[in-house]
Amino acid sequence: MHEASLALALAEELLDLLQKEGARGVLSFAVEVGELSGVEVEAFRQACEALIRTHPALSRAKLELRVVPARWRCRICGKTFGGDWWSVCQDCGPAGKDLLSGEELLLREVELEV
């Protein structure tokens, strides 16, 4: 359900872009999905593909999903490391960390048919 509403928002974003650019259709688009975004990648892909097929301007678009790995920065030493919500800095332990990437869901590259 979550993935379906995300796919719908994405399709709307693409259609807005088409209108703004005065293009006829979308040939391809790439979406970055963060490892920690909570998005189930395969479910999201299926939801997107089902949705774009129903729209003539999107029906031939090729979808590329890129999974973005999580990156954290330690608040004590500034070192960056990967891992999930429970990962800790190897030097400082669970002292606190900030998420640099891995939570995004972003439309990255769109190739338009003009």
CB-nearer residue toward Zn ion: 48 or 74: 74
CB-nearer residue toward Zn ion: 9 or 76: 76
- Quote the least distance from Cβ 91 to Zn ion, whole Å: 5
Under the binding rule (CB under 5 A), the answer on residue 67 touching Zn ion is no
CB-nearer residue toward Zn ion: 46 or 101: 101
Under the binding rule (CB under 5 A), the answer on residue 88 touching Zn ion is no
Paired tokens of 29: 């688009």
Under the binding rule (CB under 5 A), the answer on residue 77 touching Zn ion is yes
Nearest-angstrom CA–CA distance, 46 and 10 = 13
Under the binding rule (CB under 5 A), the answer on residue 98 touching Zn ion is no
Element (H, E) at 31: strand 25-34
* Residues at the contact surface with Zn ion, assessed by CB under 5 A: 74, 76-77, 79, 89, 91-92
